[in-house]
Amino acid sequence: MTRKYFGTDGIRGLTNTAPMTAAIAMKVGQAAGTRFLRGSHKHRVVIAKDTRLSGYMMESALTAGFTSVGMDVIQAGPIPTPAVAMLTRSLRADLGVMVSASHNGFQDNGIKLFGPDGYKLSDADEAEIEAMIDSEIALAEPRAIGRARRIEDARGRYIHFAKATFPEDLRLDGVKVVVDCAHGAAYAVAAEALWELGAEVDAIGVAPNGFNINDKIGSTHPKALQLRVLETGADIGIALDGDADRLIVVDEKGQIIDGDQIMALVTGLAQERGTLKGGGLVATVMSNLGLERWLTGRGLSLHRAGVGDRYVLEAMRAGGFNIGGEQSGHLILADHSTTGDGLVAALQVLAALVSGGKPASELLHLFEPVPQLLKSVRFTGTPLADATVKAAIAAGEARLNGNGRLLIRKSGTEPVIRVMAEGDDKRLVKAVVEDICAAVVAA
């Protein structure tokens, strides 16, 4: 089904360009508020944001929309996306909203919606809201207009929640951690939580100015973290993205650890403790074949879902899994949270580090990844329908000849086509990806 506003992770786009305008944001608030005005109780929505400049505008527009249909608004300020999910449940709210474009630059923004259970809305709910956005929506009578209230302790509540996922019998005394908050939503919570658990914390990416979110820093730009870990002799580095729902780790040697290796670690530990559910984990079609082989060797399965943490979570709930995630660093630990949480995932890694007696370079390199290459190509028009592109894709599949995987998809959050190939022959993988990318560019 073609959708006008919602993508794979809420609504996202260039600020002040449809659909990411104040006018549309207000309509989203009116539509979502109306959709969740159910029951006779006083209705509430939690709205939070990351640190990009346009957050002020989008927060105000959403507040206007929700209050105009009779829903009270609780404004939480800049906090991570998983904190919104947590607060929505804790405050018995009907909805949660995160204003964020995640790992994108400051010029973009987005709207992520959570239901009263703290889970992202289903496709069906989003479809109903989308249908209402362009229609006339009944507004509340003057006496029934909602109120807006800002809570000042949202950060503290989230820090307490995150720390509660760390084993009570462990401390981080003596562990030197560099944490990179991408000048984003976790700038005031991640380092504080680690310090309260006893770590020696060196924080970078904690000076947001409205423009620098994800700018050459954070989980999608880990070079700054790698350099800092090596310069300071830290035991480990932790990189979050702009809304702190994903995690990338850097070991003490400066090597990048992606979500696949982190999922292997937490899954293996859960298997040893007898707490693993579902007989394996859920990942996406992007996860490395090496992870699948490692799981198979332990008698576990890898269930692949579509790209997007919401689809991972849907598969987890359907199959009874309690661990899932994406190679990009979204990790969903269902025993702790209803959505991806970079800080909570980092705390599980740190718990393993202090209890296992191994350096991060050994602890977090559990399998040898199969050579994999992913490139993104910006596009206009419909290149995947072009005959030359189709021919290049067919040729690539033939060259891999069953000894690898080829995945071509349009991004749900940006105007790019992702071209990914993996196989045991690194040179062949590179050639296949480059040929297809060249065809897309020429189309």
Sign of CA dihedral 293, 298, 303, 304: negative
- Burial class (CB within 10 angstroms; exposed 0-12, middle 13-18, buried 19+) of 422: buried
Helix, coil or strand: residue 351: helix
CA distances from 400 to 376, 397, 417, 428, 431 (A): 20, 5, 20, 8, 11
Sign of CA dihedral 396, 399, 400, 402: positive
- Told to judge if 102 belongs to the known catalytic residues of this protein, a careful annotator would answer yes
Contacts of 302 (CB under 8 A, 6+ apart): 280, 281, 282, 283, 287, 291, 292, 295, 296
| Best CA proximity match to 29, nearest among 79, 117, 96 | 96
CB 92 within 8 A of CB 62: no
| Best CA proximity match to 183, nearest among 242, 225, 237 | 242
| Best CA proximity match to 378, nearest among 415, 412, 409 | 415
Question: In angstroms, rounded to a whole number, what is the distance separating the alpha carbons of residues 300 and 268?
Answer: 10
The count of other CB atoms within 10 Å of the CB of residue 102 is 30
Structure tokens at 189: 């919570």
Specify whether the backbone of 103 is left (phi greater than 0), alpha (psi in -120 to 50) or beta. Answer: alpha
What residues are paired with 376 via a beta bridge? Answer: 418
Question: In angstroms, rounded to a whole number, what is the distance separating the alpha carbons of residues 98 and 113?
Answer: 7
Active-site hit among 102, 219, 287, 337: 102
Query: What are the residue numbers of the active site?
Result: 102
